[in-house]
Amino acid sequence: MLSVVWIRHTTLENRLDVSEFLAAELAGRIAGSQQGSEGRTSAAYLDQDMLDARDELMKMESPPSIFITDAGGTILSEGEQDLYEENAFPSSVLEKNSDVQTFSGLKNDMLVYLIKKPIVVDDVTFGWVVMLQPEDEFADLNDEYRLLALLIIGSGLLGWAAIYILSRRLSRPISAAAAAAKEIRNGNYGVSLIPSKAKEQEVYDLVTSFNDMAVRLEQLEAIRAELLAGVTHELKTPVTSISGLLQAVKDDVVTGDEAKEFIRISLSETERMQTMINDLLEFNTFAANALPVSTAPHELNELTKRIVHEWNLARNPEGIPVHFQAYLHDLLVLMDPDRFRQIMMNLLNNAAHAIEEKGQMTITVRNEDPCALVDVSDTGIGIPDSEQTLIFERFYRGENKKYKVRGLGLGLPFSQLLARAMGGDLELKETSPLGTTFTLKMKKQNRPPK
């Protein structure tokens, strides 16, 4: 609509300007002919070639009505059209300052544009050139409107084609993702989308993320199934042992010292089963944010050295060499010492389980702003590539550890939760067949409290 208004306004202004210019040109020619004939008005004429050029320039179908009058407005000559039937134009119209005006002095009250220019010879006005053109014809813009309509229709078709092509390219991978999501909802986690067909970056990210999610869900489903079997087995085995041992004591199958040994083994199995249940309950409690963690500044070198010494005395029956490397300066970190002890004990136990024959462990305290780091390294068998992304999943147990060490697979996930609750983190730094290193990050206390 703005384009229509703008085209109408500019075209009308241009046509009026051209008509005014041609009227002035015609008046100038008539004035020149008047001078050559010593003022005889019979020499006044209309230049048809000029009128044709004017019509061609303004692209108008019907020519204007052109009149030549004397100084008083009496019509001396007129064109072929009979638009104005009076013998003279009102003097009030000719005396107006504006050369372009609207005029309604016709019998049918038609509104026309009137363009007038004086015929001047030696500064004396001998007459007027008057042009009349109906307003509806003057503002006839059919060609311009057709061009505008073609542009709008062409732009619309081009935009529709672009939107259609783009929507097709976007809808196909989205439809495929929706169909794959239905398969996952039905329990089929083996679906996969082809990322090479997605050329748009956003669609490519969607497809690759969906594939990663499907793989992740498949892994978690396998872990869940293994969890049920593992937890059931881990809890059923001590119950079966306890039941058999106590039944033997009850039926007097064993007596005396042998019966006491059976009871001692039953109590040991009961304690181990209680430990697993406590671990499970504590993990669930902490995962639900119901287990408080309070942090305060502690010196990392001294606390780590004390925990390593405690583990070496109480939980290192095989005498694995443990090397402790403290940082050159004191490091104050924000931590809960009890939770830090839990993390370190679990990392040390895991390192000892990874060492099959002769080996050693190294605990290193480092400073790497803005964190303080504790590296727990061993010379064990390492972690396979297929298991490295799963070791922090709850209840996951690696193949090498599954049959060697009994447990629920909560040690590393619980330790990571504790580290993050204290503002730090626990990461697998590196692993190979020559050994493994876990890094515990702790938040430093830059200024000691006053």
Q: How confident is the model at residue 84 (pLDDT cuts 50, 70, 90)?
A: confident
Contacts of 61 (CB under 8 A, 6+ apart): 137, 140
Dist CA 339 CA 329 (whole Å): 23
pLDDT at 35: 61
pLDDT for the residue numbered 50:
57
| pLDDT confidence bin for 41, thresholds 50/70/90 | very low
Range(s) for CATH 3.30.565.10 in the chain? 296-443
Q: What is the architecture, at CATH level 2, of domain 296-443? A: 2-Layer Sandwich (3.30)
Please list, in sequence order, all residues whose beta carbon lies within 8 angstroms of the beta carbon of residue 19, skipping any fewer than 6 positions away: 54, 58, 64, 100, 113, 115, 131, 133
Q: CATH 3.30.450.20 in the chain, residues?
A: 2-140
Q: For 229-243, what is the mean pLDDT?
A: 70
3-class state of residue 358 by DSSP: coil
What's the chain's Rg over C-alpha atoms? Answer: 50
Is residue 445 helix, strand or coil?
Answer: coil
pLDDT one-digit tens code per residue, 296-317 = 899 999 999 998 888 887 777 6
CATH code 3.40.50.300 for 2-140: no
d(CA 183, CA 28): 89
Percent of the chain surpassing pLDDT 70: 77
Quick: pLDDT tens for 339-389.
Answer: 888 889 888 888 888 887 788 899 999 998 888 999 999 988 888 887 887
Class of domain 178-291: mainly alpha
Residues of the chain with CATH 1.10.287.130: 178-291
Distance (Å, whole) CA 219 – CA 190: 10
Axis crossing angle, helix 337-354 with helix 300-314, rounded to the nearest 10: 50
Q: What is the pLDDT of residue 158?
A: 94
pTM (predicted TM-score): 0.46
Q: How does pLDDT run across 275-290, given as a tens digit for each residue?
A: 667 766 666 665 565 5
Residue 450 has pLDDT above 50, yes or no: no
